[in-house]
Amino acid sequence: MKTCAIVGINWGDEGKGRMVDLIAEDYDVVVRYQGGSNAGHTVINEYGKFALNLIPSGIFRREVINVLGNGTVIDFEHLSMEVDKLRKAGVYISSENLKISDRAMIVFPYHKELDALEEARLKDKKYGSTKRGIAPAYSDKYQKKGIMAGELLYPEYLKNHLRDILEWKNLTLQNVYNSKPYTLDDAMAWLDKYATEFKSHICDTGVLLREAKKNGKSILFEAQLGALRDIDYGIYPYTSSSTPLASYGPIGSGAPDISLDYVIGVVKAYSSCVGEGPFTAEWFNEEAEELRKAGNEYGAATGRPRRVGPIDILATSYGVTVQKADCIALTKMDVLSYMDKIPVCTGYEVDGVELKSFPLTPVLEKAKPIFIEMDGWKTDISGIRKFEELPKEAQEYVLFIEKKINCPVKYVSVGPDRDAIILRGGDE
């Protein structure tokens, strides 16, 4: 049966949560395979409006099994808060429908503290971290100084391991940042308080996913962020600390032996970006403010105003390539309805020469956008559900983009609600 990934093609916040919520209906398992509580997948459905930080967007479908894979980093305090919020809204969550990989890394309070301390030290050179401890937790993983969620099931092992790690971690906290050390008692008490309730959720997610596959179940991989924030292929160092690429889906889930059948790349009809780093098509001043307001571009996880600009063909084509997207979900088309003319960034110029491909950060920092303008449609399209019923200019905008990025636009989203979607072509 099918495996599918829903991934971000741009800088994140493309509307992945909304697409997963829509598509999860056809899947038995939904997996988050990277990142941590820094995500903010907005989902609006019969339960209300949510910004899901850690929990997969399949949680609203009662029969779906949701998995936090080994590629994620988990702050149990945050997870506990998120579960409480969802339960209060009537969403069913138990160890049956929310599974946590025994190999996922734990984000401790000291990771969050280090994140904030380092951003403060960097001052105006900061990376724009969400300060949720993600980068310090991933650094520890690769320094082999992390604690796996599965260690919670082996308390003696965990205690000894954590003691050794704190001895090392406190050297940094005290000597580099002049901060307070963490005691083993503090860390164990924090785990007791927030992680204990999740012990029954922890399992070998590889066994679960292989079993699901063997029994003909379908699996949906839900990415956080977008291709341009990928640690290897993004605008390093203004990236996330993990790999939001589709090809990492099976690896970060527990079953690297499972392959992907289909990749849906989510692209916003214009560009937005949270945090620092080069953002070539960026708009400033009133036109930015107008677009930001029209698109409600304020971070779901942090409330930070997002940087905005026209859609960027060069960056989007690069995202399509590295994600190996089979089709595109073009979101927030309705937001562009107020514009007389719709600018499109078709490429970049450096020192008067047009670039042929998306460049490395030092070149990107010097790149100037090349804009063209398309006709706007100046009419509310949020109630339209058929492509042929869109104004001619809106159809042309979609067709132009799909041609330029060389990938078919299969979904056009015209509103945040689950049903505000236009489906083009047949099923995958």
Residues in touch with ligand GDP (CB under 6 A): 8, 12-18, 40-42, 44, 296, 300, 331-332, 334-335, 413-416
Shortest Å, Cβ 224 to ligand GDP: 7
Q: Largest Cα–Cα distance of the chain, in whole Å? A: 67
Torsion of CA 14, 20, 23, 24, to 10 degrees: 180
Determine which one of 41, 78, 111, 201 is catalytic: 41
Find the shortest distance in angstroms from Cβ 265 to ligand GDP.
11
Strand (E) positions, 85-240? Answer: 98-101, 105-106, 202-203, 219-226
**CB closer to ligand GDP out of 86 and 212:** 86
Query: CB 51 → ligand GDP: shortest distance, Å?
Result: 7
Q: Name, in order, each residue with C-beta under 8 angstroms of 229's C-beta and a sequence gap of 6 or more.
A: 8, 11, 12, 235, 238, 239, 240, 244
If one counts every other C-beta atom within 10 angstroms of the C-beta of residue 341, the result is 9
| Cα–Cα dist 50/416, whole Å | 12
Closest CB to ligand GDP among residues 162, 335: 335
Q: Respond yes or no: is residue 41 known to be catalytic.
A: yes
Q: Which is nearer to ligand GDP, 15 or 309 (CB)?
A: 15
Question: Considering the complex, what minimum distance in angstroms separates the CB of residue 272 from ligand GDP?
Answer: 8
Residue 117 or 323: which CB sits closer to ligand GDP? 323
Distance CA 12, CA 279 (A): 13
**Residue 380, strand partner residues:** none
Question: What whole-number distance in Å separates Cα of residue 151 and Cα of residue 153?
Answer: 5
Distances (CA, A) of 424 to 18, 58, 105, 109, 321: 17, 23, 40, 46, 21
Buried-state track 151-181, b at ≥16 Cβ within 10 A, e below 16: bbeeeeebeebbeebbeebbeebeeeeebee
Q: Which of 13, 21, 115, 312 is catalytic?
A: 13
Q: Which residue's CB is nearer to ligand GDP, number 57 or number 101?
A: 57
> Which CB, 244 or 359, lies closer to ligand GDP?
244
Q: Is 78 a catalytic residue?
A: no
Beta strands per DSSP E along 290-406: 307-312, 327-331, 341-350, 353-354, 368-375
For residue 93, count CB atoms less than 10 angstroms from its CB and return exposed for 0-12, middle for 13-18, buried for 19 or more.
Answer: middle
What is the Rg, in whole angstroms, of the alpha carbon atoms belonging to the chain? 22
Residues identified as active-site? 13, 41
